Structure 1
Amino acid sequence: MLDTLVFVTVLLPFLVAAVLLVLREQNVRKVILVATAGVLILASLAMLRGGAFIMSPAPLWGSLVTLGDFLILAVVLLVGLKRKNQIIVWLTVAQIVGLIWFDFFMIQDHGATPAFFADDLSLVMVLVVSIVGSLIAVYGIGYMKEHEEHLHLTTSKQPQFFFFIVLFLGAMNGLVLANNMLWMYFFWECTTLCSFMLIGHDDTEIARKNAERALWMNVLGGTAFLFGVMLLYKVTGTLSLQEILARGPEFAVAGGAILVPMFLLVFAGMTKAAQAPFQSWLTGAMVAPTPVSALLHSSTMVKAGVYIIVRLAPIYAGTYFSNFVALFGGFVFLATACLAAGQSNGKKILAYSTISNLALIIACAGINTPAAITAAILLILFHAISKALMFLCVGAIEQKIGSRDIEDMRGLFARMPRTALVAVIGILTMMLPPFGMLMAKWMAIESAHGQFLLMIMLALGSGVTVLFWCRWAGLMLATPFAKAAPEAQDSTIRGPLYLLAGLAVVLSFFSPLVYNGLVAPVVAMYYKTAPYVLRFGNFESSTGVFLVYPLFILLGLGFFFALRQTRKITAAQAVGPYMCGEQTAVDGKPGFLGPLGQNVTAVSGNYYLEQFFGEAMLSKWINVIALAVLVIMLFGGAL
């Protein structure tokens, strides 16, 4: 049974991807994708029920993984040579040389390390990848049909697209289940290659440019990962992640020797998670089709980065290095939240808010207490759901109105009532108590108690997020007051939107059960004391209380009375704001009579504080400070 579940979650996507690559019949592709999504979801739930395990496949698979490593590096090297990108070329050559030395001269017995193991953290990650990632893949069926019609393609590129989408899911599941660090490196590089191919899918000049940037930054992280694994093996004498974690306290006492590979692996995680100064690869990935953006941001690429940082946290707990990780995360959390506040491009808002939330997870890993790790895992879970939902909403909206600018979404409820309401639900679950994201942020801020600077950065960053989320939600529900038109939508688009919105709300409502069933067991693996006590479904700790169900009751009452009052408003009472003159409407556009009796069309817009929060203003300084902290982290913390 165990072999079957690992096969389904890891190897099956590789096989399905190969079938999709040669399959040209669209209806058959749709059936295969939906069926694969269902199988992955059921397998991840069955794996969760089965609990922790450790296993080794036949030795042949180890040889295939080694061969796969060199094949991926060869492809990346060819890309670097073709694009004449010296950074990609030399970093890839360094990996090839390092891998040859490591594989054939350093490692004594390849078969001694079990390939896979799962504990409670791995099982949570498999759930996130298999459920959220599968829903994104299904959404891609309807989306890519319209996308290619918009591009007027004569030959469909969907076989290649879905090949890499499904391959991505298998690689990510393999990464979070890998026990052998060399197997993890293989899956790590698989995600790098998949992201490069997907970002450049449309093959426009800007797509190729951003795909190349994503590749060299992630190849840099891959190089750090490989040499980090080599140093870790030299210090610990094992490739087994499970054994390294079990002996974590022993290595922590040893001091700097273990912290050098920890720095390299954490650095690799930061590049994969697009942390400053490497955030440009993820913001540039917005040129890709929306399912790619959703997959990268919610359940695969960037989550691999924070996964490795959280996974290794017990090893560097209590060190100066851990403190630097927390400060780095806190700074990037606040800085990129400010960048998001200065954007009107919906995808860029989502991109910067993703980087910001990933930084918060990294800060929690650096704080390294039971409460902080609890917050990190809850953030991984709830962020994946809500952020995937928001990206898919933006994709549906963009195809309908031809824009991803939130100013063009003013009054969207009148044109796309279903999608607008689902998007507002997504926004509310990102910023409002008692939903899971806000609860996890509260836990993160609370866990920083006693670290004044970090606590201020986390509190300010959380406050800034409210600004851009409220602005966006308000625009979609804003005037003009018009009767909502019926909205037609493909079932493969509508289904994932509704399911993700339902998951975000339902899991938040049952957050005490989520904590007991998924999060508390992870924390218990490394800490003796539980961070929170549940009383009547509310979270209590030594520093505060989070009231889940009383807040849900207040929220429900607020919505009930607001809706009841709204229904009493007649069309005659629904008037626009006063505009310094008699109100008019020309071609349906509101305005007023200005000087000499001429009509003046009213134009409204938000203030984006570009002189304070603009990319041109902040990005350079954010990158300089982040790079300085990374240097200090290496020389001050690790050495």
Structure 2
Amino acid sequence: MSNLLLLLILLPAAAALVCYLVRSSAVRKLTVVATGAILTLASLGLLAQGTFEPIMVGSFLGISSDFLITVLDFALLGVIFYYGLKHRSLLIQGFTLAQAALLVWFEFVMIDHVAVPALVGDQLSLIMVLVISVIGSLICIFAIPYMKEHEDHLHLKTSRQPRFFLFLLLFLGAMNGLVLSNNILWLYFFFEVTTLCSFMLIGHDGTEVATRNSVRALWMNSFGGVAFVIGMMLVYAKIGTLDISAILAAGPQGAMMVTGIGFLCLAGFTKAAQVPFQSWLLGAMVAPTPVSALLHSSTMVKAGVYVVLRFAPAYMGTLLSDGVAICGAFTFVACAALCIGQSNGKKILAYSTVSNLGLIICCAGINTPLATTAAVMLIIFHAISKSLLFLCVGTIEQAIGSRDIEDMRGLFTKHPRTALITIIGILTMLLPPFGVLMAKWMAIEAASANIYVIIMLAMGSALTVVYWARWAGSLMASRDADAPAEQQATLIRIPLMALCAGAVVLSIAAPWIYNSMLAPMFDAPPFALQFGSLTASTGSFAVVPLFIVLGLGVIYAAKAASGFRKAKVMPPYVGGANVVGDNDGAYVGPMNGTVPFVASNMYLGELFAEGKLTPVFNALAVALIVLMLGGAL
């Protein structure tokens, strides 16, 4: 067991060093693919072995593992402080020095260095390892051909891929270490490693805008690091242990401990880019697409929601729990509203990611078995669909030179495979019986007792339909029978097809995923599995029956449309006689002038202007966070 756990954490780090030190594209390709395959098999093997109690980790080269983590903690803070000096950021310098000073006091004055089991494997940890290892590996494999095309576009004389894959793979190891940690100091170390990796990857291209956004990401997440250290200190002062399992078993233990957990949740908020911290994740869109996919689906932001969800038993039944739920629900509806006014595909995905993370955090705050089930199901299905969509946008951008959804209009005519996969990805985020929608139904059912939360969830869900349906509709078009087939690199096609199939197949298997992986988390599971449906006292979600109906509908639609390629395509009629010989819909307008036909979406900029709404939402979010921490006190 210990060897398998260390493989999941250390193999990506070793592979990262190989990619950096051996400057051969063939070796790098082989290393990334092999590492992805081994991580996938190791995560499945860990899942097959099942949960395990907290275990000790021995020494490394004769050095205590806990002491090694302490040394690495301060070394990591030193590296972050160096980049604060390099970029002349007083915020990075200040937050890093604050962490170092607090950590010195905590490590050398407050705590008794009693051996604590370092790693643990409960159901949540095993699910997170699977998400990180499988989806993260597919993204890394996708990055191999993508980064070659990316650097060809930039006309780089010297490839930066060795450094890029160094931090991409290191990210996976850090995330596996984070979700398996049982010692809170280990959790903090891996938490900060993800901060450094995200900074390096966001600023990878080295442009002024990339550097500026990477610096913002670093100082915001360094602020989260300060909150994490304060939270650790307060919790330890009350409970007297670094053992996360013991902390969770103790439950809420008075104002000091709950306040400490509140600061840990605040650290999770910054990492998960919750309002008002969303700007760092939006700025991360300047990075190459594999970075965006990794940050949004299986690593950085999932670290944030994991921390909030992991410590949920320690604030159950408190005002802090209500505050977390309200803050998450507010982010859900606020970012859904901000998404309405966007036409940039990556920005739509970024805002929708923050919105869905808010929903997961809201479920953690509701803190019931039903809400926890919704949160974990959202983590699984959101990671699959969102990583797929980010990779699709990256593929589309390299194909047409734009990520604006208006420029993607009619994409199916020239790039049918990519367009179809993108549409399927959007539908898995939008419609029943797919997993994301099922998890949202669970969340709304779980929030029924809190009128403020359920109103925000209902509003956010309604707004979600607008931006997803608008995008999917833009991609659809007819295609000539003799049109050439779309060409895709093998390592582009495989991740796209795998994630697309995963989003559909795992949605069909959702009842059995729940029954085998989530139900064991609870003494009284909230759902029962009946005829392919998840049934509870609050209602039922007929997964398999709905998929049967959907399948029959698709077959009927395909049969009905089987002769469409033989039909004569007519231009649209708008407001005048069509121009003779023009099949694009141009018509004769005033003064007999030719008026071109133009179709575009409505973005309601006067109502959902990002520049106007963001300051208001940020101010409200700050007030809610202050009230949340005040409730803890």
Query: For the superposition of Structure 1 and Structure 2, which TM-score range results when normalised by the shorter chain?
Result: over 0.9
Instruction: Tell me whether 326-335 or 203-212 shows the greater mean CA deviation.
Output: 326-335
The answer to whether residue 345 in structure 2 is matched with residue 366 in structure 1 is no
Whether the aligned pair in 1 keeps the contact of 2:573 and 2:585 (CA below 8 Å) is no
Amino acid at match of 1:245: L
Q: What is the CA–CA distance in structure 2 between the aligned matches of 1:450 and 1:57, rounded to whole Å?
A: 43
Q: What is the CA–CA distance in structure 2 between the aligned matches of 1:586 and 1:180, rounded to whole Å?
A: 73
Q: 1:105 aligns with which of 103, 109, 117?
A: 109
Partner residue of 2:445? 446
Computed over aligned residues only, the root mean square deviation of the Cα atoms, in angstroms, reads 1.4
Partner residue of 2:133? 130
Partner residue of 1:567? 562
**1:586/1:315 CA distance change after superposition, 3 Å:** farther
Partner residue of 2:55? 55
Q: 2:82 aligns with which of 78, 82, 95?
A: 78
Partner residue of 1:411? 410
Q: CA deviation at 1:485?
A: 3.4
Q: CA deviation at 1:531?
A: 0.7
Q: What is the CA–CA distance in structure 2 between the aligned matches of 1:327 and 1:97, rounded to whole Å?
A: 33
Whether the aligned pair in 1 keeps the contact of 2:413 and 2:477 (CA below 8 Å) is no
Q: CA deviation at 1:380?
A: 0.3
Q: CA deviation at 1:579?
A: 1.4
Partner residue of 2:340? 341
Q: 1:161 aligns with which of 161, 164, 180?
A: 164
- Residue deviations 1:303-327, cap 9 Å, x none? 0000010111111111111111111
Correspondence 1:275-290 to 2 at 5 A = 275-290=274-289
Q: 1:601 aligns with which of 575, 580, 596?
A: 596
Q: What is the CA–CA distance in structure 2 between the aligned matches of 1:402 and 1:569, rounded to whole Å?
A: 30
Amino acid at match of 1:303: K
Q: CA deviation at 1:587?
A: 8.2
Q: CA deviation at 1:55?
A: 2.1
Correspondence 1:583-602 to 2 at 5 A = 583-584=578-579, 589-602=584-597
Whether the aligned pair in 1 keeps the contact of 2:412 and 2:478 (CA below 8 Å) is no
Partner residue of 1:67? 71
Q: 1:629 aligns with which of 600, 624, 629?
A: 624
Whether the aligned pair in 1 keeps the contact of 2:413 and 2:478 (CA below 8 Å) is no
Q: CA deviation at 1:598?
A: 3.1
Amino acid at match of 2:542: L
Q: 2:153 aligns with which of 130, 150, 153?
A: 150
Partner residue of 1:619? 614
Amino acid at match of 2:124: L
Unaligned ranges ≥5, structure 2: none
Q: CA deviation at 1:593?
A: 2.2
Whether the aligned pair in 2 keeps the contact of 1:429 and 1:437 (CA below 8 Å) is yes
SS of aligned partner of 1:545: strand
- Residue deviations 1:500-525, cap 9 Å, x none? 00111010001111001111122x1x
Amino acid at match of 2:169: V
Q: CA deviation at 1:460?
A: 1.5
The answer to whether residue 198 in structure 2 is matched with residue 195 in structure 1 is yes
Q: CA deviation at 1:494?
A: 0.6
Instruction: Tell me whether 387-396 or 45-54 shows the greater mean CA deviation.
Output: 45-54
Partner residue of 2:527? 532
Whether the aligned pair in 2 keeps the contact of 1:414 and 1:485 (CA below 8 Å) is no
Partner residue of 1:398? 397
Amino acid at match of 1:591: A
Q: CA deviation at 1:568?
A: 2.8
Q: CA deviation at 1:67?
A: 1.5
Whether the aligned pair in 1 keeps the contact of 2:572 and 2:585 (CA below 8 Å) is no
**1:280/1:481 CA distance change after superposition, 3 Å:** farther
Whether the aligned pair in 2 keeps the contact of 1:196 and 1:212 (CA below 8 Å) is yes
The answer to whether residue 354 in structure 2 is matched with residue 355 in structure 1 is yes
TM-score (norm. length: structure 1) = 0.96
- Residue deviations 1:534-560, cap 9 Å, x none? 211111111111111221122112212
Q: 1:94 aligns with which of 95, 98, 103?
A: 98
TM-score (norm. length: structure 2) = 0.97
- Residue deviations 1:570-596, cap 9 Å, x none? 554432331122324888744112234
Correspondence 1:549-564 to 2 at 5 A = 549-564=544-559
Whether the aligned pair in 1 keeps the contact of 2:571 and 2:583 (CA below 8 Å) is no
Whether the aligned pair in 1 keeps the contact of 2:479 and 2:565 (CA below 8 Å) is no
Partner residue of 1:579? 574
Q: What is the CA–CA distance in structure 2 between the aligned matches of 1:573 and 1:458, rounded to whole Å?
A: 45
Q: What is the CA–CA distance in structure 2 between the aligned matches of 1:191 and 1:477, rounded to whole Å?
A: 38
Q: CA deviation at 1:628?
A: 0.3
Q: What is the CA–CA distance in structure 2 between the aligned matches of 1:149 and 1:207, rounded to whole Å?
A: 18
- Residue deviations 1:439-491, cap 9 Å, x none? 00000001111222211211121111111111111100036878653111111
- Residue deviations 1:338-379, cap 9 Å, x none? 111110000000000000000000000111111100000000
Whether the aligned pair in 2 keeps the contact of 1:414 and 1:482 (CA below 8 Å) is no
SS of aligned partner of 1:613: coil
- Residue deviations 1:253-291, cap 9 Å, x none? x33121110110000000000000000000000000000
Instruction: Tell me whether 168-177 or 50-59 shows the greater mean CA deviation.
Output: 50-59
- Alignment length (residue pairs): 628
Amino acid at match of 2:229: L
Q: What is the CA–CA distance in structure 2 between the aligned matches of 1:229 and 1:298, rounded to whole Å?
A: 27
Partner residue of 1:257? 256
Whether the aligned pair in 1 keeps the contact of 2:412 and 2:475 (CA below 8 Å) is yes
Instruction: Tell me whether 91-100 or 188-197 shows the greater mean CA deviation.
Output: 91-100
Q: What is the CA–CA distance in structure 2 between the aligned matches of 1:430 and 1:182, rounded to whole Å?
A: 36
Partner residue of 1:518? 517
Q: CA deviation at 1:223?
A: 0.8
The answer to whether residue 188 in structure 2 is matched with residue 182 in structure 1 is no
Whether the aligned pair in 1 keeps the contact of 2:171 and 2:194 (CA below 8 Å) is yes
Partner residue of 1:41? 40
- Residue deviations 1:37-61, cap 9 Å, x none? 0000000000011122232222422
Q: What is the CA–CA distance in structure 2 between the aligned matches of 1:17 and 1:23, rounded to whole Å?
A: 10
Q: What is the CA–CA distance in structure 2 between the aligned matches of 1:436 and 1:164, rounded to whole Å?
A: 31
Q: What is the CA–CA distance in structure 2 between the aligned matches of 1:45 and 1:474, rounded to whole Å?
A: 37
Partner residue of 2:321? 322
SS of aligned partner of 1:534: strand
Partner residue of 1:434? 433
Instruction: Tell me whether 590-599 or 342-351 shows the greater mean CA deviation.
Output: 590-599
Q: What is the CA–CA distance in structure 2 between the aligned matches of 1:285 and 1:256, rounded to whole Å?
A: 36
Q: What is the CA–CA distance in structure 2 between the aligned matches of 1:50 and 1:244, rounded to whole Å?
A: 25
Amino acid at match of 1:609: L
Q: 2:244 aligns with which of 241, 244, 257?
A: 241
Partner residue of 1:503? 502
Q: CA deviation at 1:436?
A: 0.3
Amino acid at match of 1:222: G
